A and B are shown apart, each in its own frame.
Chain A
């Protein structure tokens, strides 16, 4: 019996079409909890929410009306990112010395760009080139060296921030292509019903 394959992609249950002898047999599997058929139109593609999710983690879901989900995502991503900066210092976000890591960290949004800007502008260029006494420059250079994370500290801080960015990429994709509010409400009802 040749299988014509799935005639439509469904989020939870699939319907199938197949030749049964000389008849076309169509199976439609209903969701037993909601007794409804999902279609492709139940999914929405919204670039604006994805942009909001990048601008500030969780904002995309909050704009979709999923306030608690957005706040939880915000807590998780910011906990990872700020935890990384706390562990490794501001030096863990560095687009010049750790370029590949920075691409992952930049997925956290402008907060990562701001940390990198602060690092490049105020930390790495300090002490500035000028007509200062050499002993002052030397002592300031020692201070600057103390602000640079090394070894495990730098590794873990960089990893935390990069992982925050990669998790925010998942959040962005979820906000970009999400089930409509109707489907979300239906799913929630189905999962809470006994």
Chain B
């Protein structure tokens, strides 16, 4: 008999993350921005606007890197001569 597992937050993993794990980049970069700017900014004026900007910059930079890598692996490398 296989028991039915009830999901318990913080104890069981969220297995649905397997399908959209890359979207976790957004909360990851948001948290890094919150901590970094809290330490870095001399004054906390316009703090959340700067956090939003830095989050967008991190996500944009990593998305651009992903695009470059996809082009490199899918387009450039297959066209290289074998010898």
Verify A167–B21 contact, CB threshold 8 A: no
B interface bracket (residues with beta carbon within 8 Å of A): 20 to 34
Chain A positions 160-174 with a Cβ under 8 Å from a chain B Cβ: 160, 163-164, 167, 170-171, 174
Interface size on A, residues (CB 8 A): 48
Q: In the complex, identify which listed stretch (A13-21, A76-84, A95-103) lies at the interface while the others stay far away.
A: A76-84
**Is B15 located at the chain interface by the 8 A CB criterion?**
yes
Question: What's the least CB distance linking B28 to chain A, in Å?
Answer: 7
A interface footprint on B18-36 (CB within 8 Å = 1, 0 otherwise):
1001001001100110111
- Known A151-B18, A188-B42; contact A80-B31, beta-carbon cutoff 8 A: yes
Distance between Cα atoms of A113 and B15 in the complex (Å): 24
Chain A residue at minimum C-beta to C-beta distance from B43: A191
A contact residues around B10 at 8 Å (CB): 82, 85-86, 89-90
Is A68 an interface residue when CB atoms closer than 8 A count as contact?
yes
Question: Which B residue's beta carbon lies closest to that of A184?
Answer: B42
In Å, the complex CA distance between A191 and B1 comes to 67
A79 and B32 contact, CB distance less than 8 A: no
- Is the CB of B82 closer than 8 A to any CB of chain A? no
Bound form: Cα–Cα A135–B3 in Å: 12
Q: Distance in Å from the Cβ of A90 to the closest Cβ of chain B? A: 5
Contact of A160 among B28, B39, B42 (CB under 8 A): B28
Among the stretches A1-9, A22-30, A37-45, A140-148, the one at the interface with B is: A140-148
Pairwise interchain contact B11-A147, C-beta atoms closer than 8 A: yes
Looking at the complex, which one of B21, B38, B42 makes contact with A73 (CB distance below 8 Å)? Answer: B38
B27→A153 contact, CB < 8 A: no
A181 contact set on B, CB distance < 8 A = none
| B positions within 8 Å CB-CB of A | 1-3, 5, 9-15, 17-18, 21, 24, 27-28, 31-32, 34-36, 38-39, 42-45, 47
Inter-chain pairs besides A79-B31, A139-B3, 19 sampled, C-beta below 8 Å: A69-B44, A72-B34, A77-B35, A80-B35, A85-B10, A89-B14, A143-B3, A152-B21, A153-B14, A156-B17, A167-B32, A167-B35, A167-B36, A170-B36, A171-B35, A171-B39, A187-B42, A187-B43, A192-B45
- What are the 9 tightest A-B residue pairs by CB atom distance, in nearest-first order? A149-B13, A76-B34, A76-B35, A89-B13, A72-B38, A152-B21, A191-B43, A80-B31, A146-B5
List 13 contacting pairs A-B, 8 Å CB cutoff, sorted by A: A69-B38, A75-B34, A76-B32, A76-B38, A80-B28, A80-B31, A89-B12, A139-B1, A146-B12, A156-B24, A167-B32, A187-B42, A192-B45
